[in-house]
Chain A
Amino acid sequence: EADIYQTPRYLVIGTGKKITLECSQTMGHDKMYWYQQDPGMELHLIHYSYGVNSTEKGDLSSESTVSRIRTEHFPLTLESARPSHTSQYLCASSGRVNSPLHFGNGTRLTVT
């Protein structure tokens, strides 16, 4: 069973607030990912990391930023939330090349 944790599970905030979505894994995986899932279910890669101090932008442009100071921790930050950021955010990690990604339970963000 994969050990990857996301907090909070649900978040409702007002426009303009700064938020950080937390993601931690205990498997020692070097690679970590953030996906955004729209209401139509489609998944889009927005950020990934190959290891400490490595961050890359994914296929979908996002106003969020990420950091990777520790192997186990990959937080995502929105400096000024907007209603267009309302979505589900899924964090994942993986070990070897071509191995499966292990996902957390997600954070469902609503910006009012």
Chain B
Amino acid sequence: GNSVTQMEGPVTLSEEAFLTINCTYTATGYPSLFWYVQYPGEGLQLLLKATKADDKGSNKGFEATYRKETTSFHLEKGSVQVSDSAVYFCALRGGGADGLTFGKGTHLIIQP
């Protein structure tokens, strides 16, 4: 079946630091890949997506590239802000199953 593995947190960084949150997946076929963000007390918001190999999703300074050869979709941001503090979920859709398969989430804490 499908699975998503992402780095465990919490990840604590200083403001303006470079961010990488690793995500790898297992799926049959060609799934679509997503990063969602969850702020305290809220639901999940789509941050970015990529639907095929070598696609780069980007939004709000965050980027992730769909790497089929390494089955990865790592999230990066060049300079994080305190407002980026949240929980980030890597997810895939497809590969023979419906709905989203999520990683366990990474809690990101940005200190001023």
Contacts and interface: CB of A to CB of B under 8 A. Distances in A.
A70 B94 CA distance: 26
B87 interface: yes
**Residue of A43, A97, A104 most packed against chain B (CB within 10 A):** A43
Contacts of B38: 41
A35 to B, nearest CB: 8
A98 B94 contact: yes
Contacts of B43: 6, 90, 103-106
Contacts of A100: 32, 34, 46, 49, 93
A105 B42 contact: yes
A98 B105 contact: no
Please classify how large the interface on chain A is, using the bins under 10, 10 to 19, 20 to 34, 35 or more: 20 to 34
Nearest to A107: B43
Interface string A40-64: 1111010010100000001000000
A75 B31 CA distance: 29
Interface of B: 31-32, 34, 36, 38, 42-46, 49, 51, 87, 89, 93-94, 98-100, 102, 104-105, 107
9 contacts: A6-B43, A33-B99, A33-B100, A41-B107, A45-B100, A98-B32, A99-B93, A100-B34, A105-B43
